[in-house]
Amino acid sequence: MKRLIYSLFGTMVFTLILTACGTPSGGPQTWLDWPLDDSTHPLEPLTLQAHASDEDGIGLFEYYANDTLLFKIDADGSRLGEAIAEWAPAEPGVYKIDVRAIDTSGNTGSNATAVITVDGKSNFDESVQITDVECSDGLAVNVDINIIAPDGIVSYSVFSTWVAAEVGESFTKPLPGNINKRVQLVEPYTDDMVRNHQIGLKVEIDGAPTPRYAYAFEPNNLCPGHYQAPVVVPPPGPTAPLATAHTNANCRGGPGIDYAVITSLSEGQSAAIVGRSTDSSWWVLDPGIGGEICWISGTVVDVTGEITGVAVISAPPLPAEPPVADEPPVVIEPLAPVDTTPPSFFSTGVSPDLILTEGGGCPSYKRTITLAAAISDESGLSSVIADWYIGGAESGQVTLSEGGLGYWATIGPVNTVGAMEVYITARDTFGNVSESDTLYVTVNNCIE
């Protein structure tokens, strides 16, 4: 039976095509597999088959006959896509069949074209008819059929040309010569595209070389309840700005150490950012102490979230100094030495340097990598963090834990094919920062 099918090619031929075709910005490359150019076909339903390739993934196929849109067929966003449709020409003639693909970034590729001839011969027969189509409960459709075949009816099937739904019967001799009945077709799922739903009848007649067909549309072209709009998830809104202390730090009444301490943030503690100094070297926080705000230096916190709209706040006046009384001389103790040397990386590495994306198949390949680093610092390390990304499609961050002779972390599984780049940032207890060289890991898909 001919019907609409959405699928991806899984053969070695298409795997070779996948490695050779598709452009990242010029739109998909499309092939029309059937019908062939300069071919002749009877006046009956004709299968249209095409595939396309694009680095950004295939999002949609469009079929045209003589520049009139026939079908829009969604693809699943994979690099290689296929779309098969069934088209019933209205009358004999010469038709120009075009198909084009649109990638997930909205780029449209060039058309693939075939010019075909539909002659006056037909496998339709007035003795094979769909006399009525009626919507029933849920996803059911009642279809009245009438078949007259004196040579005997071998089988019949009623099907939907849009979804995988079929019902029918096969017979043994003595074969019936007439069937006039109502059958119920149940479509297994709702359609997420508003389009005409066509019902087909296929009849195998004893001694006939080809089947006979009849077609009819559902009432109003689509039964109630058979369409369900796709769920559109709105993009996430901007994230509120936060300051997270990477060491124990004071939050003061103004931007400087001459202001009194209002409260403190412990290492890892966060507070909402409600303002900033003119040069953004100090952040104004709401630490959650009865609405009172305080100022903290940008050197002791990590800032996350959207800071574009954070307002500039003027510094409050310094408190008046009390009158100086006769006091004994102040003994100034020497300051403790300040460490200004960043951490040192002795070695870094990843194992293995080739993994596969998350999913089944290829059980002998790893889905995760182990990241290791040997780092030294005289004052001690406060954090060791690894950032990774694969192009602009997928990224993440992990914290390395100390163990054995160094620091360790696991990355993966991931969902994106490409070159994963990893770099490690080490911070000591005085805020000195050092960054490793970039490490590279190849991420492939499973190909059994």
With cut-offs at 50, 70 and 90, classify the pLDDT of residue 387.
very high
Domain boundary among 67, 91, 118: 118
In percent, how much of the chain has pLDDT > 70?
Answer: 91
Cα angle, residue 401 at apex, residues 400 and 404 outer, rounded to 5°: 120
Domain membership flag for residue 316: no
Contact 80, 53 (CB under 8 A): yes
What does the pLDDT look like over 166-180, one tens digit per residue?
A: 999 999 999 999 999
Task: Count the domains in the chain.
Answer: 4
Mean pLDDT computed over every residue of the chain: 86
Domain membership flag for residue 317: no
Domain membership flag for residue 199: yes
Q: Is the model's pLDDT at 378 over the cut of 90? A: no
Q: How long, in residues, is the chain?
A: 448
Domain membership flag for residue 333: no
In 228-347, where does DSSP find H-type helix? none
Q: Is the model's pLDDT at 124 over the cut of 70? A: no
Burial of 430 (0-12, 13-18, 19+ CB in 10 A): middle
Position 336 scores a pLDDT of 66
Domain that residue 21 falls in? 5-118
Q: Is the model's pLDDT at 142 over the cut of 50? A: yes
Domain boundary among 118, 140, 174: 118
| Domain CATH number, residue 291 | 2.30.30.40
Q: Which amino acid is at 207?
A: G
Q: Is the model's pLDDT at 307 over the cut of 70? A: yes
* Rounded distance between C-alpha atoms, residue 365 and residue 422, angstroms: 20
**Do 103 and 134 have their domain in common?**
no
Q: Among the ranges 23-37, 89-103, 142-156, which has the highest mean pLDDT value?
A: 142-156
* Rounded distance between C-alpha atoms, residue 401 and residue 410, angstroms: 10
* Rounded distance between C-alpha atoms, residue 348 and residue 130, angstroms: 72
- Mean pLDDT (whole number) for 3-18: 36
Q: Among the ranges 11-25, 78-92, 189-203, which has the highest mean pLDDT value?
A: 78-92
Position 359 scores a pLDDT of 76
Q: What separation in angstroms does the CA of 396 have from each of 26, 102, 357, 392, 434?
A: 30, 30, 15, 11, 19
Position 447 scores a pLDDT of 80
Domain membership flag for residue 331: no
User: Which residue did the predictor score with more confidence, 406 or 324?
Assistant: 406
* Rounded distance between C-alpha atoms, residue 437 and residue 439, angstroms: 6
- Mean pLDDT (whole number) for 355-381: 86
Instruction: State the CB neighbour count (10 A cutoff) for residue 160.
Output: 24
Cα angle, residue 433 at apex, residues 430 and 434 outer, rounded to 5°: 140
* Rounded distance between C-alpha atoms, residue 179 and residue 97, angstroms: 37
Among candidate residues 2, 10, 15, 29, the one with its CA nearest the CA of residue 84: 2
Specify the residue for token string 């999913």: 359
- Mean pLDDT (whole number) for 90-97: 88
Domain membership flag for residue 269: yes
**Do 63 and 43 have their domain in common?**
yes
Domain membership flag for residue 326: no
Domain boundary among 118, 149, 184: 118
Q: Among the ranges 13-27, 275-289, 347-361, 389-403, which has the highest mean pLDDT value?
A: 275-289
- Mean pLDDT (whole number) for 130-144: 93
What does the pLDDT look like over 308-365, one tens digit per residue?
A: 889 999 999 987 776 666 677 777 777 667 788 899 898 898 988 898 988 777 888 8
Numbers of helices and strands, H then E, in the chain: 1, 33
**Do 214 and 180 have their domain in common?**
yes
Element (H, E) at 48: strand 46-53
- Mean pLDDT (whole number) for 105-131: 83
What does the pLDDT look like over 211-268, one tens digit per residue?
A: 988 888 889 888 888 888 778 888 888 889 999 999 999 999 999 999 999 999 999 9
Burial of 412 (0-12, 13-18, 19+ CB in 10 A): buried
Q: Which residues contact 343 (CB under 8 A, 6 or more apart)?
A: 375, 376, 377, 381, 426, 427, 428, 432, 433, 434
What does the pLDDT look like over 34-81, one tens digit per residue?
A: 999 988 888 888 889 999 999 999 999 999 999 999 999 999 899 999
Q: Is the model's pLDDT at 21 over the cut of 50? A: no
Element (H, E) at 272: strand 270-276
| Domain CATH number, residue 425 | 2.60.40.2550
With cut-offs at 50, 70 and 90, classify the pLDDT of residue 4.
very low
- Mean pLDDT (whole number) for 294-319: 92
Q: Is the model's pLDDT at 2 over the cut of 60? A: no
| Domain CATH number, residue 160 | 2.60.40.10
What does the pLDDT look like over 176-207, one tens digit per residue?
A: 999 999 999 998 888 777 777 889 999 999 99
Cα 141 from chain centroid (whole Å): 34
**Do 16 and 112 have their domain in common?**
yes
Q: Which residues contact 47 (CB under 8 A, 6 or more apart)?
A: 2, 34, 35, 84, 85, 86
